Structure 1
Amino acid sequence: MKKLFIPIILLLVLVVSGCGKGAAPAETQEPATNANQTANTNKSANTEQNSGTITYNSETGPIEVPANPQRIVGLTNAPNILSLGGTLVGVDEWTNKNPLFTDKLEGVEIVSDESLEKIIELEPDLIIAGSYMKNLDKLQEIAPTVVYTWGKLDYLEQQLEIGKLLNKEKEAQAWIDDFKQRTEAAGKEIKAKLGENVTVSVFEYDAKNLYVFGNNWARGTEILYQAMGLGMPEKVKENALGPGYYTLSLEVLPQFAGDYIVLSKNAAGDNSFLSTDTWKNIPAVKNNRVIEIDTEASSYSDPITLDYLLNIFKDALLAES
């Protein structure tokens, strides 16, 4: 389940399946008894506002959740929630930073798995969290808490599960079906124009390193390789397909370059390599076949991000030479 030193890149990609985890603000936690009393009060108020419930079969077992949740805290998968019109009252800091969601998150509080008091104050009727997060038992006392393990589901399965959770399975499935049709058609059109064996590489950089990505590490990799079926250079297959990403040195960068390059540009990263002869002499660079995307806007694999990147890729790959 949505960018960079290695720890941050791992965090943000947990975020590609939508699992962002932010830094916790300093605070003094309530005693357990007070937290329980407040949580019970919140639950009662939410029940009065929305008495309808459904049973969601989560990975940790069946859980009763609101049939129409109105106050969701999305510690993970927030972009998926937004794509289905879910109402967020709390969100992780990484989703909040993403420029694709700025207008959709106005007034939404930034929270983490450690900011329990703030979450209680938000009076959520549903919490969505990652299995790696802290305080899952305490979150469950505040509101029904559904947990997802990053990597257990692929990007389309994850969207469908969020649809089931929000009682919007039909809407989620409709988008999945439409997305598959659109990307398959785009892939065929691109191959017809550029050749069946055309290859694409996806590179990114941070303050210290260069990276190349496999087929499930956000930045549009799911679109390019899985949905559209475009080719991956052999070096990328050998080194990045399994682990998801691979750290490169500038010297070997040309060996990983495809016929086209998608360059995830990090405003806070070191882009000095772009001025080197090594970069400039890569055939894709010399032939103006570099597609630039914004790292912050490309670090998730939800419908909003995928549709945004699909349009960029189609326009670039199908542009008249």
Structure 2
Amino acid sequence: MKKLLFPIMLMLVLIISACGSNATEETTEEIEVEQAETEITVEETSSDMIIYESENGPVEVPADPKRVIVLATFAGNVLALDTNLVGVDPWSKMNPRYVGLEGVEEVTDENLEKIIELDPDLIIGLSYTNNLDKLSEIAPTVTFTYGALDYLTQHLEIGKLLNKEAEAQAWIDDFKQRAQAAGEEIKAEIGEEATVSVIENFDKELYVFGDNWARGTEILYQEMQLEMPEKVKEMALEQGYHTLSFEVLPEFAGDYVIFSKNADGDTSFQETETYKNIPAVQNNQVFEVNAKEFYFNDPITLEFQLEFFIEQFLGN
């Protein structure tokens, strides 16, 4: 780890002599002031590192990172803040919404040789990322605990890390306003008491989600304040998600269902009478979306989710 660098502020004190100073003295003082101002400018702009206060303590990171590797979850946040990526995790790599990753390498926390070859100047991961000590020797490494921060605060922290806090905050303020306004329209359309569920199939499992596990849940429940079925509140709200068998799916299905669908997983339950008899299915109020586009809760994904909800609920 490189030794911490702290900017040194140059203090300039000018003692102006009393009336009667001659022109030569004034000229000399002006030159000294100009030289000092020049030195200050150089001092303020010469440092290319900042200190980020991570959850594990201060980390020295580039003030303007050029070669970032994201090992989990946060690729969309980095992309949204117009910062260059050279490596991303497999889940991010397969996301159709992350335009511009064509030339970006797919890496994991076990691919140390590849990571070294990519020559990153910043690595971002999760608190359970493997090989953190070795990664920190390659480049400044910052991790976050998933779910420790709410989804918008998380983006703000990525903004701070990338030295783009103002840009992150501006997007957050605008997004909250738009999402909440859309929620009011949707509640007026479907009714204040209408319930919404978010389910997803993965491999042979079926999941239902609470209000903070991506898949659009933060928008639906936190910003739009739409209602959640009682069974979902009971089983998924605290943990964030709940695994269920398709036989009990009707107990968790709301008046409206968002189905985050993995087409390459087991979707045979959709052919059963149990599924077909769910009121939301019979009323054509199940809205299917590609799960690979819905996994995350970064600005790129959130913008897509908001657009999807407006289109599905309001027909806009």
Q: TM-score, normalised by structure 1?
A: 0.82
1:94 and 2:81 equivalent? Answer: no
Aligned Cα root-mean-square deviation (Å) = 1.7
Q: Could you tell me which amino acid in structure 2 is paired with residue 317 of structure 1?
A: F
Q: Secondary structure at the match of 1:68?
A: coil
1:297 and 2:293 equivalent? Answer: yes
Q: Whole-Å Cα distance in 2 between the matches of residues 85 and 311 of structure 1?
A: 21
Shift of 1:251: 2.3
Report 1 or 2 for greater relative contact order, CA contacts < 8 Å, sequence distance ≥ 6: 1
Report the equivalent of 2:80: 83
Q: Deviations over 1:191-233 (max 9, x none)?
A: 1121111110111123322221111111111111111110000
Q: Deviations over 1:246-303 (max 9, x none)?
A: 1222222111111101011111111111111111111111111111111111111100
Instruction: Work out the percentage of aligned pairs sharing the same amino acid.
Output: 63
Contact residue 187 and residue 230 of structure 1 kept, 8 A? yes
Q: Whole-Å Cα distance in 2 between the matches of residues 253 and 104 of structure 1?
A: 38
Q: Whole-Å Cα distance in 1 between the matches of residues 264 and 250 of structure 2?
A: 23
Report the equivalent of 1:57: 53
Q: Whole-Å Cα distance in 2 between the matches of residues 300 and 235 of structure 1?
A: 24
Report the equivalent of 1:207: 203
Q: Whole-Å Cα distance in 2 between the matches of residues 254 and 293 of structure 1?
A: 20
> Counterparts in 2 of 1:121-200, with a 5 A limit?
121-200=117-196
Aligned to 2:231, which of 231, 235, 239? 235
Report the equivalent of 2:11: none
Q: Deviations over 1:95-146 (max 9, x none)?
A: 0011111x31121111111111111111111111211011111111111111
Q: Whole-Å Cα distance in 1 between the matches of residues 139 and 197 of structure 2?
A: 43
Name structure 2 gaps, 5 residues minimum: 3-45
1:267 and 2:263 equivalent? Answer: yes
Contact residue 51 and residue 66 of structure 1 kept, 8 A? no
Q: Whole-Å Cα distance in 1 between the matches of residues 150 and 201 of structure 2?
A: 25
Count of aligned positions: 273
Aligned to 2:273, which of 273, 277, 282? 277
1:116 and 2:94 equivalent? Answer: no
Q: Could you tell me which amino acid in structure 1 is paired with residue 85 of structure 2?
A: L
Runs of 4+ in structure 1 deviating by more than 6 angstroms, as ranges, are: none
Q: Whole-Å Cα distance in 1 between the matches of residues 232 and 200 of structure 2?
A: 13
Report the equivalent of 1:26: none
